Amino acid sequence: MSEILKGAAVIGQSGGPTVVINQSLVGFIEAAVEADAITKVYGARHGIAGMMKGDLVDLGAEDKVTLDAIANVPAAALGSVRMKPVAEDIAVAIETFKKFDIRYFFYIGGNDTAETANIMEQQTRAMGYEMRCFHIPKTIDNDLKVTDHCPGYGSAARFVAHAFQGDDRDNRSLPGVKINVVMGRHAGWLTAASALGRRNETDGPHLIYLPERVFDPKAFVQQVEEVYNRLGRCIVAVSEGIHNEAGDPFLQVYAEMAGSAMAGMKDSHGNVQLSGTGALGDSLANLVKEHMGGIRVRADTFGYLQRSFPADASPIDRIEAREVGRRAVEAATSGEFTSGSVALKREEGSDYRCTTFITPLDTVAKYTKDMPEDFLGKSEGITQAFLDYALPLTGGIEPMTDLAMIQE
């Protein structure tokens, strides 16, 4: 047991938002205003950037009606930020903490966010400024270590599964090859969710390409052709993170191959820009057109809708996201932990149920979690074990129906 600190709390939101990230914010606020140890509840605008500038708002002044409404609003209500703070940045933030007597630091985000909390903990300790530092998990990518799954994933997976169900019906109506690009730079969790609404092998997606496997363009066009020849159509799910043996993103390889203007499309971190562009889908569609000729080939890139569409959140994801926010406050004020990340544990039994636990920050920070081998099928698919794992997180996906007189 460590001493129960008295002081103000600050929370920030970081990285790409989700549709349930504000559930965690509201869960945190509800618990923090109740906690005896917490004297004041601050929100930092745009995460660590707001902490450095002292751009804080008084979250204790929000009423219950607003909080319940905000919980269902997608994306970071406090604003988000993409910033990996260095020691000097942290030192600036600590000046703000001292000024506002902040002793509790909470940060909602992915593995980079956990790393920021970890650095914050180390640096405040080194400076002798006593502080509780907690990470609250969120990411549609589902690539955090330790936890069974990440809040935000279930809703994104639900959107992707529904999107593929609808697109599969569209493709049955007007057959052709359809390629859909799904978010997930490093891990295939969200792309794999494309299969959650399938009833059988004739339902799309018929091929699924994940970053856990090396992507071979030649095998790709041959596999598409094989499905098309068999079914008269083909739906493909592709992760934006597909890459060659050396780990180079496909789009970069293709762009250099084609000598096109795309070669220069890099974002502010020097990575090839994968989100917010249709270039990957269009490139793959071109490959199929060149290989097969004459047939109808289309590509869609689901884009930011996957993490922001407000009308199709997973009910269970909403509940769990609220809970991890609450749990972080309870852990921080319990005297049992000085820092940590909230994680989910799936309980045994036939009905889905998760409980929360606290894991050290350095077990979650920095690294991402790929899909395990037993979730990966042959090179272009996934397994039943993955479906069993992921389906409960979405709240369930209702199967589509055919006319009884039309059996395919």
Considering only residues 125 through 164, tell me which ones interact with its own copies, judged by CB under 8 A.
158, 162-163
Tell me the per-residue interface mask from 1 to 20 with its own copies, x by CB under 8 A, - otherwise: ------------x--xx-x-
By CB under 8 A, is residue 27 in contact with its own copies? no
**Residue of 28, 105, 302, 337 that binds its own copies (CB under 8 A):** 302
Bridge-based pairing of strands 297-301 and 177-182 is parallel
> Which region among 104-112, 221-229, 275-283, 340-348 touches its own copies (by CB under 8 A)?
275-283
Does 268 help bind its own copies (rule: CB under 8 A)?
yes
CA count, 13 A, side-chain hemisphere, 191: 34
Nearer to its own copies, 227 or 331 (CB): 227
Give the HSE-up count for residue 179: Cα atoms under 13 Å, Cβ half-sphere. 26
Is 310 a residue that touches its own copies (CB under 8 A)?
A: yes
Q: Mark residues 173-212: x for contact with its own copies by CB under 8 A, - for none.
A: xx---x----------------------------------
Give min distance, CB of 53 to its own copies, in A: 15
Instruction: Estimate the crossing angle of helix 153-173 against helix 315-333, to 10 degrees.
Output: 170
CA 288 to chain centre: 29
Reply yes or no on whether 141 is catalytic. Answer: yes
Task: Determine the Cα–Cα distance for residues 37 and 383; give it in Å rounded to an integer.
Answer: 47
Kindly name the residue from 141, 168, 203, 317 that is annotated as catalytic.
Answer: 141
Selected range binding its own copies among 2-10, 87-95, 168-176, 249-257, rule: CB under 8 A: 168-176
Query: Residue 130 or residue 402: which is nearer to its own copies going by CB?
Result: 402
The span from the first CA to the last CA of the chain, in angstroms, equals: 63
> What's the DSSP call for residue 36?
T
Contact residue for its own copies among 170, 216, 330, 370 (CB under 8 A): 170
Give the span between the Cα atoms of 301 and 315, in whole angstroms: 25
Nearest to 76 by CA among 43, 104, 119, 102: 43
Minimum distance, C-beta of residue 266 to its own copies, in the bound complex (Å): 12
State the maximum Cα–Cα separation within the chain, in Å, rounded to a whole number.
75
Q: Is 277 helix (H, G, I), strand (E, B) or coil?
A: coil
Among 28, 309, 337, 375, binds its own copies (CB under 8 A): 309
The set of catalytic residues is: 141
